[in-house]
Amino acid sequence: MTEQSVPAIELSGINKSFGPVHANKDINLRVGKGSIHGIVGENGAGKSTLMSILYGFYHADSGEIHVDGKSVHITDSKRAIELGIGMVHQHFMLVDPFTVVENVMLGAEGGAMLNKGIDQARTELKRLADEYDMKVDPDAVVGELSVGLQQRVEILKALYRGADILILDEPTGVLTPAEADHLFRILRVLRDQGKTVLLITHKLREIMDVTDAVSVMRRGEMVSSLKTADTSMAELAELMVGRSVLLEVDKKPAEPGEVLLRVENLNVKDERGVMRVKDVNFEVRAGEILGIAGVSGNGQSELLEAISGIRRAQTGTMDLAGDHVDLSHSHNAGQMRQMGMSHVPEDRHRMGLVTSFAEYENSILGYHREPEYSKGWFLDLKAIRSEAEHRIQKYDIRPPNPDLKAAKFSGGNQQKIVLAREIERDPDVLLVGQPTRGVDIGAIEYIHKRIIEMRDAGKAVLLVSVELDEIRSLSDRIIVMFDGQVVGERGADASEGELGLLMAGVNEEHAA
Amino acid sequence: MFEDIILILDSTLRLSTPLLFACLAGLFSERSGIVDIGLEGKMLGAAFAAGAAAYMTGSPWMGLLAGIIVSVMLAIIHGYASITQRGNQVVAGVAINFLAAGLTVLLGQAWFNQGGRTPQLAISARFDDITLPFAEALQDVPFVGPIYHDLISGHNLLVYLSFVMVPLTWWIVFRTRFGLRLRAVGESPAAVDTAGISVTWLRYRAVILCGVLCGFAGTYLAIAQSAGFIKDMSAGKGFIALAALIFAKWRPVSAMFTCLLFGFLDALAIRMQGQEIPGIGEVPVQVFQALPYVLTVVLLAGFIGRAIPPKASGIPYVKERT
């Protein structure tokens, strides 16, 4: 690519604060025309803020933006679209009950009446689909499409508006590995046709696979910009965190003991009456980690909720450390806890914490009836606080202030608060859902270590994660869920490709 | 018997008209994601304004104008609270209802001294019934004649206008750029925002349209159906319209049929007053009056399909801050 020519985007001295939080500090960035440029950084490093400034969602407090060499003021998204900037948001900006055509033309209808615009959009969609190999039925209802296709609609939407610069914010979070590969193929075609792609991600492997250049952000600052060919994952990880990190998890082989958790014949419906978990059976032994892999939304959440006592199942039984539970009868999370189960829920904001409560209050949620935390009808605040302070020390929770509201902690530290609460009760069985979602690399390393420690202490650990890397590095056995069913079980040495196929619902053993 | 049916259907049309205006008004608001429980209050405010203005100017057109202006003003208050200030839309709507109920009586008493009423209007200050062409000539043709002369002809302008509004609303909502954006903003305001369209302005326009149509509804009550404003004359029609909107699943043509059904129940209730049904005896009027609500509850309980409101309705739009 011609990197000496005028860059597609040049940012200089961009500053943005939200109240006391300095989200972007003096950012400089050059993105070469016709290249794929990656931006990596931990959660909260300021990547999304920077891109939102570029797309006109926020205004920079100071700084200059040049697009194709011309100084511009991006006042709103409309201006950004006019300048040829398109964005594919992490959470899709689509209208679910609308058809593909309606979604694509929204905001670019081509007149006050729709009839002419629809025909035009249909023709143009077909042209774009042929040119970039992105087939999609223009009359399909978007809400009924798979996430991979929905994302394609988002890209088509941007291209329909004539985008030359495409920003993708964490595009692979919801995709299977195969879908992600297809996306990268599309991005390469776009680049080769002269489009500029900005790829925001926290997955270093994607950066290495697909980008030409990469910029690293850390705590609101642009730390470094490199050619991808000249760097390595280890170097990027170090730049992101500011110190060297261990990407591989260090663990001994498992020594499985007796079965502590056995789930049989589990069927779970969601609140809309759709069967989300279908005939699932599995067991977890003492001293092993069973990983449940799968693309988000294939029944893992409902499974966790059912066995942790939050959701009633249609059918299913569970043997939990010597107790037998009928999951289709009324049960609750408190009873499960009594029987020796702890649960680190998938969504810490919604289920793990009361974010408007102080840290010390959160540190005993669900265990507040335990005799050591209460005096009759009252809470023993002194005991609770001293326990909270002890855990803050032990788990290195920062800032070390038990009176701070949970909402004020970073994602990683919030997760540590939840993890500490559940681990410190010394359960027999530990359920962990998405333990590192929205958690920075440094804390990921720590959380992984703690989960392995639980295993080595002879606990049964059930790990649910949509991050395949996490599943593969922690688990001793892996089962894969697709459309509510367990489609296969593999050992810890299963290849990514093999698991990826299972996650897409393809089971070669069945096919054969 | 035939004449009885014609009579009941005739009064069905008259009773459906205010429901239909209010229901279509609610459709614009709710399709944009603004829940509007204040239809009732806007109707009442418009009815008072129309009655007062028609009395003072002697012109029904000035009454209509005043009704629309007052209703739009109330709509803008609702919009300001729920769009700009991102307040609770239901609470704001209830406030509009209280405001209208109290203020109309207060001002009515202060201005006209007739216990909160506006003075009786002369025929010329009202929307009078219109005889359609050939109605007289066809009157004596069997079957077709009575239907045309007694049922279709002989209503006031606003009745016809309310039914014209149905295809017009359908066309706006499903065939124009504004309609596409309106439907989009009620489902996913973030998608509208990132497409470079102002969510605020779009929702204000929807709320103002809602105000205009409520203005027609209220005006109809005061100076077409009656000869002046009476205290609390909307009598829950705004709520029935809201129920009809849910029953019609936020669709214009279904809205018309639902309003006709609810209007028919109302007409039937009036007709059945004091009459004995063989074998059952006298049925209390309240049974018929409660039916629209009962039907709506049955619908909401999921017995007749599902009524799924626009996804973003009731939720103020806040740009996410990452």
Q: Are strands A36-41 and A196-201 parallel, antiparallel or unpaired?
A: parallel
Assess if residue B320 is contained within a domain: no
Give the residue from B188, B194, B308 with the most A CB atoms within 10 Å of its CB, the best one to mutate. B194
Q: Compute the nearest-CA separation of B40 from chain A (Å).
A: 30
Which chain B positions have a beta carbon within 8 Å of A96's beta carbon? 187-188, 311
ipTM: 0.86
SS3 A55: coil
- Residues paired with A87 in a beta bridge: A167
Return the residue of B nearest to A55 by Cα: B194
**What 3 state SS string does A409-458 have?**
CCHHHHHHHHHHHHHCCCCCEEEEECCCCCCCHHHHHHHHHHHHHHHHCC
Instruction: Summarize pLDDT for B244-292 with one digit per residue, the tens.
Output: 998 899 999 999 999 999 999 888 888 877 777 777 777 787 887 788 7
What pLDDT is stored for residue B305 in this prediction? Answer: 63
Interval A202-218 mean pLDDT: 90
Question: At A30, is the pLDDT very low, low, confident or very high (cuts 50, 70, 90)?
Answer: very high
| Nearest CA distance, A111 vs chain B (angstrom) | 7
Peptide bond into B292 cis (omega under 30): no
Mean pLDDT of all residues in A201-224: 90
Q: How confident is the model at residue A3 (pLDDT cuts 50, 70, 90)?
A: very low
Q: Within a domain: residue B310?
A: no
* CB pair distance less than 8 Å for B194 and A96: no
User: Taking an 8 Å Cβ-Cβ cutoff, which residues of chain B contact chain A?
Assistant: 175-181, 183-184, 187-188, 190-197, 311, 319, 321-322
Number of domains in chain B: 1
- A interface with B, Cβ–Cβ < 8 A, is 18, 48-49, 52, 55, 57, 76-81, 87, 89, 91, 93-98, 102-103, 105-109, 111-115, 117
Expressed as residue numbers, the domain containing B102 is 2-300
pLDDT category at B219 given cuts 50, 70, 90 is very high
**Cβ–Cβ under 8 Å, residues A428 and A404:** no
**For residue B193, which residues of chain A lie inside 8 Å, CB to CB?**
77, 93
- Name the residue among B37, B107, B96, B34 with its Cα closest to residue B71: B96
B312 assigned to some structural domain: no
Provide, as residue numbers in chain A, all residues whose Cβ is less than 8 Å from the Cβ of B318: none
Of A49, A94, A111, the CB nearest to B191: A94
β-pair partners for B276 = B282
> Is A156 in contact with A129 (CB distance < 8 Å)?
yes
Kindly give, in sequence order, each residue whose CB lies less than 8 Å from that of residue A447, ignoring residues fewer than 6 positions away.
A412, A415, A416, A419, A435, A436, A439
pLDDT of residue B303: 61
Of A57, A93, A111, the CB nearest to B188: A93
- Res A85 pLDDT > 80: yes
pLDDT digits (tens, 9 = 90+) for B280-290: 777 787 887 78
Q: How confident is the model at residue B57 (pLDDT cuts 50, 70, 90)?
A: very high
Q: Cβ A117–B177 below 8 Å, yes or no? A: yes
Q: Looking at the domain assignment, is residue B305 inside a domain?
A: no
Residue in the block written with tokens 């470094």: A224
Q: In angstroms, what separates the C-alpha of A77 from chain B's closest C-alpha?
A: 5
**Cα–Cα nearest to A460, from A339, A300, A295, A331:** A339
DSSP annotation string for A96-163: TTSBHHHHHHTT--SSSBHHHHHHHHHHHHHHHHHHHT----TTSBGGGS-HHHHHHHHHHHHHHTT-
Average pLDDT over residues A403-420: 89
Contact residues on chain B for A95, CB-CB shorter than 8 A = 183-184, 187-188, 191
- For the stretch B284-313, pLDDT in tens is 878 877 887 787 777 667 666 667 889 888
pLDDT band at A508 (very low <50, low <70, confident <90, very high): low
Q: Nearest chain B Cα to A96, which residue? A: B187
Q: By the 8 A CB rule, do A229 and A428 touch?
A: no
Secondary structure class of B131 (helix, strand, coil): coil
Q: Among B126-140, B162-176, B213-227, which is the least confidently predicted range? A: B126-140
- A275-284: pLDDT as tens digits: 999 999 999 9
Contact, A32 vs A7, CB < 8 A?
yes
Q: Does residue B112 register a pLDDT over 50?
A: yes
Report the residue from A78, A103, A114 with minimal CB separation from B196.
A78
CA distance B36 to chain A (A): 22
How far apart, in whole angstroms, are the C-alpha atoms of residue A485 and residue A467?
A: 19
pLDDT averaged over every residue in chain A? 89
Write down the pTM of the prediction: 0.79
Q: Is residue B317 part of a domain?
A: no
**Is pLDDT at B130 greater than 90 in this prediction?**
no
Domains of chain A: 9-241 (3.40.50.300), 259-351+428-511 (3.40.50.300)
Residue B122: give its domain's CATH number: 1.10.3470
Q: CB distance B190–A93 less than 8 Å?
A: yes
Can you give the pLDDT at residue A509? 57
The beta-carbon neighbor of A114 closest among B177, B194, B196 is B177
Which of A52, A77, A87 is the closest to B322 by Cβ? A52
pLDDT at residue B50 tops 50: yes
How high is the pLDDT of residue A2?
Answer: 45
Cβ neighbour number for residue A91 with a 10 Å cutoff: 11
B20 falls within a domain: yes
Q: How far apart are CA B233 and CA B246, in angstroms?
A: 23
Instruction: Residue A159: list chain B partners with CB under 8 A.
Output: none
pLDDT tens profile A89-98: 888 899 999 9
B-chain residue closest to A87, CA distance = B194
Using a CB-CB cut-off of 8 Å, the residues of chain B touching A169 are: none
Contact B136, B70 (CB under 8 A): no
Look up residue A449 and give its two tokens. 């270590």
Whether A511 has a pLDDT exceeding 70, the answer reads: no
Beta bridge partners of A442: none
